[in-house]
Structure formats: structure tokens, C-alpha cells
Amino acid sequence: MEKTIAIIRGDGIGPEIVGEALGVLDAVAKKFGHKFIYKEAPMGGNAIDQFGVPLPEESLKTCLASDGVLLGAVGGPKWDAQPPENRPEKGLLKLRNGLGVYANLRPAKMFPAISAACPLRKDIAERGIDFIVVRELIGGVYFGEHKTETRDNERVATDVMSYSEHEIRRIAHVAFQTAKGRRKKVTSVDKANVLTTSRLWREIVEGVAKEYPDVELNHMYVDNAAMQLVKDPGQFDVIVTENMFGDILSDEASQITGSIGMIPSASLGQPGRPGLYEPIHGSAPDIAGQDKANPIGTILAAAYLLRYSLGMEAEARAIEDAVSAVLDEGWRTGDIAQTGEKVIGCREMGRLIRERI
């Protein structure tokens, strides 16, 4: 098969981790007889430097015309002084919105080989961690009105959070569909004791649940969910939640599995339209350019791209098996190494995974 993949290298460690993921994709293309055509789409701080805006029109077009988009990470202190409308993160939000990718799937699964990196008590970790956060990605407070005005001689800042029925309904369907292929349990996370959006959320999710009688649904307040994630993560199968709660809980979820550097994500919209694939971590400017980053999150994101956008299940598995094999052999980047373990760099980790495809 011949497929076009839009590539956003981004900022900080972005170019390093994307470089390793492309090496792995090349190995997959060779082994399975595919041709992947890479089209560069600058986005983030580097795009601000080159074009003055975080998401040039041309980049969005390239992404829309592709079969799938692979992204490293964007942002860094260099662009902190940019006006809010022109920050690197704004490029990412515009891209998500432009692609219409409303469903963000973020798995939290512990690789047995690195269970020692799990910060939770041993008896909790041993019960296993394997759930997925389904985060609404293009609604809520991220996309509501943002303004600062002056009232009574002081500044007042406002961010508006709103959700419409169709936005809730479509993400709920993704959660129930996902649960059907797993342990058939959905936990919907909200703050219905305080927020109106959450009350609508609950009502709509309950309506959708009726279409999935074989899937169990429970509701949880977000503060309790944050606590349950560290107390008893084994209880979760699929967590569905709104944009900002999902942002926060998915960082917590990833960290309890050992390292945020290992977790990929898939952002999906209408079937047939390109999905967006990225690791869930940021651009880590403090270690950029030092060959220290863990490329596994991005490499696994490339596997997701093959699975969800290109329909290449065997190829995706080949990548995931190669990652597991390298971890089982004991290879570790700094973020997942225990004291005394030998640490390898980003390039070496990429090479080892590539060789095992």
C-alpha cells in the first residue's frame, strides 16, 4: 500500500523522537512492502520562528490531505512571551479543531518489564493497570470564549466552558464502542455536583448507555477519580471525560504506569478523515538536543496511526511487539531506568526497536 503521512516534528525533543519513529515506520514499510510518503507540516514554536504563526495554513492543508498525522511535541520557554493567540499550544488546538478530532484515546497500561518504575505501592501495582482515557478534545473550556477585562479598576479574566448535546453524545459513543472491545465498563467522570455542563454530560451519557446494554456504566466526580486512580487503578476499564478533566487525569494515569514517556495517543474524528497521533508528553526543552528523550511514546503513536488510520493491524502489532521485546531485554532510557540500570539514549532506543521489526 502507498500512504501519505503528515509529519509534525515540533519543538524541543520533538524532532529527535519523531526521527526515531520515522525510522521504525521505514522498517515496517520495508518488511511489509508498503510505501509511506512523508509530508512535512511545520507547527508550533518553530513555525512561529519561520512563518510568524504557530499553524500555517499550508500545514493544516498538508495534514487534511494526508492519511494520518504524526506529531512530536510543541512549545517551550522561548515562546512564552508570545500573545495567547500566537502561542505554540494554540497551533496544536487549531490543528485538533481543524482536523475535527474530537476523541482522544490515551491508554494507561503498565508494561510488566518496567513495573518497578510504577510509583504506586507494590500490592496496588501488582493488581495490574490497564485502562484507557477517552478525552473529549475539541470542546469545553479549551474552546470557549477567553477574555480579560477591567472592572472596578482591576482585571477580571474569564474562560467559558460549554458543551452541546451532540458533542457529548459522539464522545460517549466512542467510549462505549471502545469498552465493547475491552472489559465492558465505562466510568464517566464529571463534576455534576457543581457544574451545569457536567449535569448535561451525565444525562446524555446515560441516554447513550441504553444503546449498549452489555456495557456497565458508572459515574464518578473528577476529584474522586483523581484519588481512585492512585488508590485502586485496577477498577478502571474506559474513563470518558470532558477536555480539561481528561487533560489532567491522563497525565496522572500515565505516570502511575511508570513513565509519561511511554504513552501514545490517538485523536480521531469522522471515519475516513485523518487522525492525529502523538505521545502525550510535552516537548521537554530541558533535555532537548541531548539524545536523552524516550522515543517510545512517539513510536507507539506511529503504531496507532497504522492501526486506526491505515487499517494495518499486523504492522501496528509488529511495532508494539518490538517495543515489548526491547524492554524485556532490559534496555532503558533515563526516565524508566531504576538506580544502577544502564541508560541508553533516544537514538539507541530507536535503533534497537527498528532492528526488532
277 is catalytic: no
Phi, psi of 228 (to 5 degrees): -60, -30
- Verify binding: residue 247, Mg ion, rule CB under 5 A: yes
Nearest CB to ligand IPM, comparing residues 91 and 295:
91
Residue 61: CA count within 13 A, CB half-sphere: 3
Coil, strand or helix at 152: coil
142 is catalytic: yes
CB of 207 to ligand IPM, least distance (A): 27
* Binding characters for ligand IPM, 230-249, by CB under 6 A (x = yes): -----------------x--
What residues numbered 26-65 form the site for ligand IPM, per CB under 6 A?
none
What is the full DSSP assignment across 262-305? Answer: G-EEEEE-STTSPEEEEESS---GGGTTTT----HHHHHHHHHI
CB of 247 to Mg ion, least distance (A): 4
Please identify which of the residues 3, 90, 191, 292 carries the catalytic annotation: 191
Nearest CB to Mg ion, comparing residues 190 and 247:
247
251 is catalytic: yes
CB of 112 to Mg ion, least distance (A): 26
- Verify binding: residue 92, ligand IPM, rule CB under 6 A: yes
Nearest CB to Mg ion, comparing residues 247 and 315:
247
Helix 296-304 to helix 313-328 angle, to the nearest 10 degrees? 160
191 is catalytic: yes
Best CA proximity match to 104, nearest among 282, 283, 230, 245: 245
With CB under 5 A as the rule, give the number of residues binding Mg ion.
1
Please identify which of the residues 159, 223, 286, 328 carries the catalytic annotation: 223
- Given strand 185-190, what is the order of strands in its sheet? 35-40, 2-10, 68-73, 275-279, 264-268, 103-109, 130-136, 238-241, 185-190, 216-221
CB of 300 to ligand IPM, least distance (A): 15
What residues numbered 257-276 form the site for ligand IPM, per CB under 6 A?
none
Nearest CB to Mg ion, comparing residues 197 and 265:
265
Strands 275-279 and 264-268: antiparallel
Contact indicator for 139, 93 with CB cutoff of 8 Å: no
CB of 61 to Mg ion, least distance (A): 26
Nearest CB to ligand IPM, comparing residues 10 and 23:
10
Q: Which of 26, 89, 252, 291 binds ligand IPM (CB under 6 A)?
A: 89
Phi, psi of 306 (to 5 degrees): -60, -45
Contact indicator for 343, 333 with CB cutoff of 8 Å: yes
In Å, how far are 24, 172, 184, 272 from 320, measured between CA atoms?
Answer: 11, 27, 23, 24
Residues of this chain that interact with Mg ion (CB under 5 A) are: 247
- The residues binding ligand IPM (CB under 6 A) are 75, 89, 92, 247, 280
Catalogue the active-site residues: 142, 191, 223, 247, 251
